[in-house]
Amino acid sequence: MESRFHRELEDLKATILDMAALTLKAMEKSLRALFDRNEQLAEEVIEKDQEVNLLEVQVDRLILKLLALAQPMARDLRFIIGCMRTSVDLERIGDQAVNVAQRAQYLNSRPPLPSIPAMVELADTAMDMLRVAISAFTNLNVSQAMDVCQMDDEADELNVQVLKILWIIWSTILRRSSVPSRPSLPLGASNGWRTTVPTSPRACSSSPGGSTSSIIVNNDHGLSKTPITAVLLWNAKESLSTPAIWPMVHAPSIGCRS
């Protein structure tokens, strides 16, 4: 009975690692699709997301079986609960890879933006974090887990740098376009999204449910939902002397996942 239980624990760990490998590959492909403007890689990421979802279901079944039949305690119980949370996080990372791939598809249909070295560095940091996190889980290494937490601070700083650069690029585009103070410019023929630059944003709040995939901006044109990948300037507002979070570019709705 004991040996069977531990074999099932090993099966659970192996399934988590398979899920992690798929997630890692999805993130790598989505970033290559973004930086290399590769449409085929973006399609592959979107199509194979279902594989990650199926593995999450498999993990749930294994965990329920272990909890119901083996009634684990102490270290084994902690490991099983940890696997449960890890599978949820890996599935979300897979969804974020799809978000990046979908955003890459949209950006690849537009003229290329200037190169942003901080964006590449941010992507490299995020990938390093994922690799180290997977290694920490594989080896149950607490030190590596702590390293990931420290790397997150570096990623936050790079994120702010990227947002500042995007704000500068967008401001330059506005000046060259001689945009009026309260424009409402169509970005697509019928997608319902607009490029909007409010002169006095009155209120900003996170989107319902606490998701960070978008923000709701209450401006002079009413409420508008803004994808985070194009617009967030929350941490840069003081250094840029902006009065609030200002939306920049509204991309077509592609169902961002949280």
Q: Look over the chain and give the mean of its residue pLDDT values, rounded to a whole number.
A: 75
Average pLDDT over residues 30-42: 94
Predicted confidence band of residue 79 (pLDDT cuts 50, 70, 90):
very high
* Residues 17-40 as b or e (16 or more Cβ within 10 Å = b): eebbebbbbbbbbbbbbbeeebee
Q: Can you give the pLDDT at residue 176?
A: 75
Predicted confidence band of residue 174 (pLDDT cuts 50, 70, 90):
confident
| 247 vs 121 pLDDT, higher one | 121
Q: Can you give the pLDDT at residue 6?
A: 85
Highest mean pLDDT among 107-111, 119-123, 192-196, 200-204: 119-123
Q: pLDDT at residue 69 above 90?
A: no
The percent of residues in the chain predicted with pLDDT above 70, rounded, is 67
Q: Domain coordinates of the chain in residue numbers?
A: 1-112, 113-178, 181-258
Q: pLDDT at residue 247 above 60?
A: no
Q: pLDDT at residue 248 above 80?
A: no
Q: What is the pLDDT of residues 81-119, one digit of tens each?
A: 999 999 999 999 999 999 999 999 999 999 888 888 999
Task: Reply yes or no on domain 1-112 having CATH 1.20.58.220.
Answer: yes
Q: Can you give the pLDDT at residue 2?
A: 64
